[in-house]
Amino acid sequence: QASAQAQTARTGTRLHLAAALSEADTGQIARLFGAATGQISGRLDARAEVEMTGETVDAALKNSRGQGIVSVIQGHVARDLVEKLSTDLRGLFRSGEGSAQLTCVLAVVDMRNGLGVVAPLRLRSPEIAMIGGGTINFVTSRLDLRVESLPRSTGFFALDSPLEITGTF
């Protein structure tokens, strides 16, 4: 679902956008972003609201405000991905088989002037808890996120090294 309103303003057009995504297939969305089939599944819910003003979309993004939230319920993640995320040394000698239940996935984004701050970013399963955050620059189309496992949630063989996710979209 999405809605938009546009009004004439002194410095161009004022846009108000609201969007909601309910019970989307997380696996299909992950494949859109290049993830391998079967790595993650579950129902994704997302909500976002943005207000911006400008003569062009680029100018409006530089003068914008918005919030968004993403959550996944009834999800599963491939066990080998969990081991990779925690940098579990056992993953070097065997491949994790099956999947782990996701009990919580939550990301909140607060956007000001085209820069989205992601905080908190949480992923929890019975086997691992991860926290993270970062930025999404909607003006330059750049993503900079850092995710790390909580040491008390991983095993003895886990290095618990942070995972940096950076690049353009």
User: Which residues are paired to 144 by β-bridges?
Assistant: 135, 166
Q: What is the pLDDT of residues 121-166, one digit of tens each?
A: 998 877 778 889 999 999 999 999 998 877 676 665 555 667 788 9
pLDDT for position 112: 97
Percent of residues, the chain, with pLDDT higher than 90: 53
Task: Report which DSSP code applies to 98.
Answer: S
Separation CA 44–CA 74 (nearest Å) = 9
Q: pLDDT digits over 78-117, tens only?
A: 777 666 655 554 443 445 567 778 888 999 999 999 999 9
Number of C-beta neighbours around residue 11 at 10 A: 11
What is this structure's pTM? Answer: 0.79
